Amino acid sequence: MTFRSSRLHVVAAAIAAAAMVATVTPISAHDFWIAPSVYRPEVGSLVGLRLLVGQLLVGDPVPREPSAIARFVVSRPVNGSGEKPIPGRDGGDPAGIFRVDAPGLLVVGYQSVPRLVELTADKFDQYLGEEGLDAVRSLMASKPMKSTARELFSRCAKAVLLSGPSSAAEGDRALGLPLELIVERNPYIAPRGEAVPFVLKYQGTARPGALVIALSARNPSLKLSARTDRDGRVSFKFPASGPWLVKTVHLIPARPDAGADWESFWASSTFELP
């Protein structure tokens, strides 16, 4: 799946600007997710959307930074008003807020502008192990080891909310994020213990062999993991109700002109199980 041409120029310019500033903060220990103020809002109500970065669903807020946002949208039900940008106050937490104007399944998507990070060789290898990036690890073993690894990383976060009664006919929708987790069954009607399937896509194409991890907000030590099959699919039997975070990482060699060694995409999806 390709981006709209109008967005390509914006993102390309932002990459060039972001590459001028490097941070030494390691990304290997930090998940990124969208935490809505409520997962089951009423029609007409306002929903605040916090951006959080941390571990085991304990995170610090990421205030709204316009220069860091490539896309921040909500996809409304078919009988609603389609996809709309999410407004917010610069520097604000929550980073976005919107009003629910129709019942149904609401899908929020956030894509960050790529940012540059520099990791020591040890930190980079640790992060490859934690995120199950075995293919990259094998590739690194066959090459001379550098003292540092420069990486452009992008956040590709989603949240699935429900307003009004659930319907099996409604489901998650692909938003065209570079790396995207799509839950293929309405999570709000999934009985506990039954498999909930996901498909992982990179640039619109199924991504096989990726390690996908699910964490429970009520019991963060409860962690599920599995790898996507050849069709990019993976499923989990969630043992507990409440909010869940599902996440994965995709890492590729950077383009020669990117000013980095690697480019990574961090996908997440949050929702609430009944």
- What pLDDT does residue 78 have? 61
The number of angstroms, rounded, from the C-alpha of 201 to the middle of its chain's C-alpha atoms is 12
Q: Render pLDDT for 18-54 as a digit per residue (tens, 0 to 9).
A: 333 333 334 444 799 999 999 999 999 999 999 999 9
Q: Render pLDDT for 160-181 as a digit per residue (tens, 0 to 9).
A: 999 998 888 888 999 999 999 9
Residue 105 domain-assigned (yes or no): yes
The residue ranking higher by pLDDT, 164 or 16, is 164
- What pLDDT does residue 175 have? 95
Residue 134 domain-assigned (yes or no): yes
Residue 143 domain-assigned (yes or no): yes
End-to-end alpha carbon distance in the chain: 33
Residue 166 domain-assigned (yes or no): yes
Residue span of the structural domain in which 68 resides: 5-172+247-273
Residue 146 domain-assigned (yes or no): yes
Tokens of 4: 């709209």
Q: How many other CB atoms are found less than 10 A from the CB of residue 52?
A: 21
Residue 219 domain-assigned (yes or no): no
**Does residue 208 have a pLDDT over 60?**
yes
Cα–Cα distance between 75 and 173 in angstroms, integer?
8
Residue 127 domain-assigned (yes or no): yes
Number of separate domains in the chain: 1
Contact 152/114 with Cβ under 8 angstroms? yes
Q: In sequence order, what E strands does the chain have?
A: 22-23, 31-36, 46-55, 58-61, 69-75, 83-85, 96-99, 104-112, 115-120, 148-163, 179-183, 195-202, 205-206, 211-216, 223-227, 233-237, 242-253, 262-273
Residue 87 domain-assigned (yes or no): yes
User: Residue 268's closest CA among 158, 176, 172?
Assistant: 158
- Bridge partners of 73? 85, 109
